[in-house]
Amino acid sequence: MSTPIKNRYDFILLFDVKDGNPNGDPDAGNLPRVDPETGRGLVTDVCLKRKIRNFVQLTQDAAKGHDIFVKEKGILNNLIDSGYAACGIDLEKPPADEKDGKKRNEKGSGQGSEVSKARDQMCKAYFDIRTFGAVMSTGANAGQVRGPVQLTFGRSVDPIVTLEHCITRMAVATKEESEKQSGDNRTMGRKNTVPYGLYVAHGFVSAHLANQTKFTEEDLSLLWDAIGQMFEHDRSAARGMMATQALLVFKHDLALGNAPAHKLFEGLHAAKKDGVLVARDVSDYTITYAGIPLADLPASKSLGNGVTLIKRV
């Protein structure tokens, strides 16, 4: 495994949805998330991270340090126990190093330097811990990890409209339901969609925190691949057409950065083209960075302040 990354990165992600629900809110009947004051659509950072995790789990070898800690139906405490086992630490016996204590303070729980060893092992084994961090202070306790990669919510460029559709299933679940309908066997339901929405999310990669989790250049390359392709492997009838439309990465010369992220992000401008009243496709927008259409941006462009703009998608 290579050394941790040495540069700070910031990035802008543009993605869109057509006739789908990009991120339903379970507290609101699974309606698409909306900022009630502006009407703009929202997609949570957790939703985006889930898709990145799923891509890595689908495409990488878990045995080579690319397993996923937070995955469907996972039992986190069992995975933490496995981390201790991989370190050769028996949590049923007193600590091997007396500096960690002469007896086990809490049965089945790590203490002293054992926690650090288990935390390092978990970072080594799980891509999402190296990337996003994790709270592992439950169960056997492998501590907490601050991940080098953080994402904001995605927010739509324009207000969205949420549509509710009535749907019919030509079957029922039980014989009793069939008898009540005299054999008609229909079940009514509803689904909610956004006709179209173009969303913008922002992200940050810290070289300082990457050094702590051993997040490498290979990990970073995999992250960019995942962001670019995550919607291609997340198809469902509920989500309609979703796609990453652009991924702009700002590479800083220094580990601490050469410019404030919010100033770099200000260069992006997306607005409906003249004469377009209602957007229904990304082609209905003019999208530029520093006045240059995204299609005309070179693959790599120095911004003259120690920051290089890299167009990944």
Taking only the tens place, the pLDDT of each residue in 129-169 is 999 999 999 999 999 999 999 999 999 999 999 998 888 88
In the chain, the number of structural domains is 1
**Within a domain: 106:** no
**Within a domain: 287:** yes
| Gap between the Cα atoms of 31 and 22, Å rounded | 10
Cβ atoms of residues 9 and 248 within 8 Å:
no
Average pLDDT over residues 289-313: 95
**Within a domain: 102:** no
Helices (H), ranges, 87-186: 113-125, 127-132, 175-180
Cβ atoms of residues 151 and 203 within 8 Å:
yes
Cβ atoms of residues 149 and 169 within 8 Å:
no
**Within a domain: 204:** yes
Grade residue 18 by pLDDT with cuts at 50, 70 and 90: very high
Q: What phi and psi values does residue 245 have, to the nearest 5 degrees?
A: -95, -25
37 vs 188: which has the higher pLDDT? 37
167 vs 67: which has the higher pLDDT? 67
pLDDT at 180 (0 to 100): 85
> Residue 64 is encoded by which pair of tokens?
């080579």
pLDDT at 97 (0 to 100): 86
pLDDT at 197 (0 to 100): 97
Average pLDDT over residues 250-255: 97
**Within a domain: 74:** no
pLDDT at 309 (0 to 100): 97
**Within a domain: 26:** yes
Lowest mean pLDDT among 50-59, 207-216, 236-245: 236-245
> Residue 301 is encoded by which pair of tokens?
């462009």
| Gap between the Cα atoms of 294 and 21, Å rounded | 26
**Within a domain: 101:** no
pLDDT at 203 (0 to 100): 98
pLDDT at 154 (0 to 100): 98
pLDDT at 195 (0 to 100): 96
Q: Which residues contact 301 (CB under 8 A, 6 or more apart)?
A: 308, 309, 311
Grade residue 1 by pLDDT with cuts at 50, 70 and 90: low
**Quick one: 282 exposed, middle or buried, by C-beta within 10 A (0-12, 13-18, 19+)?**
middle
| Gap between the Cα atoms of 104 and 146, Å rounded | 27
* Domain residue limits at 307: 9-60+146-159+192-311
Q: Is the pLDDT of residue 196 over 70?
A: yes
Average pLDDT over the chain, rounded to an integer: 94
35-63, pLDDT tens digit by residue? Answer: 999 999 999 999 999 999 999 999 999 98
Average pLDDT over residues 225-246: 93
Q: In terms of Cα–Cα distance, which of 3, 312, 11, 254 is closest to 149?
A: 11
Q: How many CA atoms lie within 13 A of 266 on its CB side?
A: 5
Q: What phi and psi values does residue 157 have, to the nearest 5 degrees?
A: -65, -40
Grade residue 293 by pLDDT with cuts at 50, 70 and 90: very high
Sign of the C-alpha dihedral computed for residues 225, 153, 233 and 296 taken in this order? negative
5-9, 161-165, 169-173 — which one is most confidently predicted on average? Answer: 5-9
Q: Is the pLDDT of residue 183 over 80?
A: no
Sign of the C-alpha dihedral computed for residues 200, 205, 206 and 209 taken in this order? positive
**Within a domain: 125:** no
